[in-house]
Structures are given as C-alpha cells and as structure tokens.
C-alpha cells in the first residue's frame, strides 16, 4: 500500500505535495525549506482532521470518550498553530520586510473558517463537560462548515511562503520557522495535545523525505512519540500513524468506506 492510497490521504482534504518533493535537491534554499516545513505541519493537521471526518459517523459508544479527547487535541493543535502564526510568525515577516499588509490574505483566510472552527471547539467542550451527547452526524455537519476554507488556507499559505523569495537574504526563514515551531510546541501539553501531531506525521510520506521532521534531536522525537504519547494511548488509536510513525488504515470507517 502506498502512503497516498490510504483513505485519509485523499479526503476530505487531499494531502499537500511538498515543494521539496516537487523540486528535489539536497540543499534547498530557505524558501523551499520553510514552505516544506509548513507543508509538513499542515499535512499533520490534514491527516488529523481527515481521520476525524472519516471516522466520526462510525465511532461506537464505548469509544466516544477517547474520540472526544482526540478531537480536542486536534482542535487545540490547529488553534495553537494559527495563533502562533498571527502573534509571531506573520508579524515578524511584516516587520522585517517593512510590508504592513504582507500576510493580510492569509490572516483573512484564518477569519474565513474561524466561526465554524470555533463552533466545533465549543461543541467539543460541551461534550467534554458532559453537557452534550456525542452525535457523529452533528460532528460531520460542524466540520463541513469550515473544512473547505481550511483546505484552501492550508494550501495557499505554502505559495505565500515560496513567494517570499523576492525578499532574498533579508529574511532568515530557517531561524524564524524554528522559533515559531518551538513556541507552538511549548504551548502544547506533551501527553494530551502534542501527540496529535506526532501520530499524524507519516514518516514514509514522499518516500521518507520528511522522516527527520520535526527538526529537533531524534531522541527527543522518539521520547515524545514513543513515550509521552503512550500515556493516553487510547486517544491516538484514531490517528493515521502508529507509535512507530508508520501509516495505517483507520479502525472506524464503517462498511461503505
């Protein structure tokens, strides 16, 4: 089975092909590098939300609680990613280039899916607090309200980063991207939130080109993925990859999928 033939690789949001895979080189320029890193983060988000969308109608009552926790991790992870961009990464790009509205299109795309995304988050909180009962069809309806604009945004931001090449060496995207990644990862809980990224990063994607992502020491990645993630192992059974980072088919696809 190739990595792109899994159900979750195609729908509802197709995975992004990374700029590095489209222009392979052992020494990518900083723009290709940063756009590829962003693609990797976005692909983790896509895998997580695809896994939720595809499994939501088929989760048996015995698995509702871990699925709600899995969805909350995905929601919190995406929220943290966008808040990191709006509070640090985008303002830094605008400050360094002197272009006050450089990232306006991307920020307005965040706004395009914000209300639907927040309605989903509110519902998850109600489920967590026991004020709502899980309903798979409602879950899909709530996702349908923002998944289209989210998909456009996750793709368009990659082109925006590539287009920053017109600023050349004025920017240091490797440094900025690392600072941004460290900040966001630092805000996420290692046992309840961060695993949603590690268990949705396919180490075999594009022939293993991104096996060393994220750019932190391998031993740290291993401890986070193989150690901390096992703390709430039942939550990550819904994810697209195992603790070894290898892709797998989803367990709750129902009969038609």
Binding residues among 90-149 for Fe ion as defined by CB under 5 A: none
Q: Among residues 157 and 202, whose Cβ is nearest to Fe ion? A: 157
As a whole number of angstroms, the distance between CA 78 and CA 53 comes to: 15
CB of 61 to Fe ion, least distance (A): 35
Residue entry with tokens 């805000």: 187
DSSP structure string for 5-47? GSGGGTSSSPPPPPHHHHS--SS--HHHHHHHHHHHHHHHHHH
Q: Among residues 65 and 160, whose Cβ is nearest to Fe ion? A: 160
Q: Among residues 157 and 206, whose Cβ is nearest to Fe ion? A: 157
CB of 45 to Fe ion, least distance (A): 8
Binding residues among 169-208 for Fe ion as defined by CB under 5 A: none
CB of 120 to Fe ion, least distance (A): 18
List residues bridging with 247 in a β-sheet: 241
Residue with nearest beta carbon to Fe ion: 157
CB of 197 to Fe ion, least distance (A): 13
CB of 83 to Fe ion, least distance (A): 11
- Contact assessment for residue 120 and residue 142, using Cβ atoms and an 8 Å cutoff: yes
Residue among 175, 252, 241, 256 at smallest CA distance from 15: 241
CB of 150 to Fe ion, least distance (A): 11
Q: Among residues 50 and 55, whose Cβ is nearest to Fe ion? A: 50
Contacts with Fe ion: how many residues (CB under 5 A)?
1
Q: Among residues 59 and 93, whose Cβ is nearest to Fe ion? A: 93
- Contact assessment for residue 66 and residue 234, using Cβ atoms and an 8 Å cutoff: yes
Draw the binding track, 145-164, toward Fe ion (x: CB under 5 A; -: no contact).
------------x-------
As a whole number of angstroms, the distance between CA 141 and CA 130 comes to: 20
Helices (H), 59-204: 64-84, 90-97, 104-128, 136-144, 147-163, 173-187, 195-198
Q: Among residues 35 and 224, whose Cβ is nearest to Fe ion? A: 35
List of residues contacting Fe ion (CB under 5 A): 157
């Amino acid at each position: 089975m190739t990595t792109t033939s899994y159900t979750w690789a195609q729908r509802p949001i197709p995975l992004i092909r990374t700029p590095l895979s489209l222009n392979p080189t052992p020494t990518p320029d900083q723009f290709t590098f940063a756009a590829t890193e962003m693609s990797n983060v976005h692909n983790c988000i896509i895998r997580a939300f695809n896994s939720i969308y595809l499994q939501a109608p088929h989760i048996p009552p015995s698995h509702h609680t871990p699925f709600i926790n899995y969805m909350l991790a995905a929601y919190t992870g995406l929220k943290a990613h966008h808040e990191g961009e709006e509070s640090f990464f985008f303002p830094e790009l605008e400050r360094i280039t002197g272009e006050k509205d450089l990232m306006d299109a991307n920020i307005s795309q965040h706004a395009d899916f914000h209300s639907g995304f927040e309605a989903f988050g509110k519902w998850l909180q109600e489920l967590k607090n026991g004020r709502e009962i899980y309903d798979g069809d409602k879950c899909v309806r709530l996702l349908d309200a923002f998944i289209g604009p989210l998909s456009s945004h996750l793709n368009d931001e990659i082109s925006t980063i590539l287009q920053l090449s017109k600023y050349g060496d004025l920017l240091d995207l490797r440094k900025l991207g690392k600072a941004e990644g460290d900040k966001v990862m630092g805000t996420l809980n290692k046992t309840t939130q961060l695993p949603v990224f590690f268990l949705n990063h396919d180490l075999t994607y594009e022939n293993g080109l991104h096996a060393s992502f994220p750019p932190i020491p391998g031993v740290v990645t291993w401890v986070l993925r193989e150690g901390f993630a096992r703390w709430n192992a039942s939550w990550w059974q819904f994810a697209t990859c195992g603790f070894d980072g290898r892709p797998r088919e989803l367990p709750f696809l129902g009969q038609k999928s």
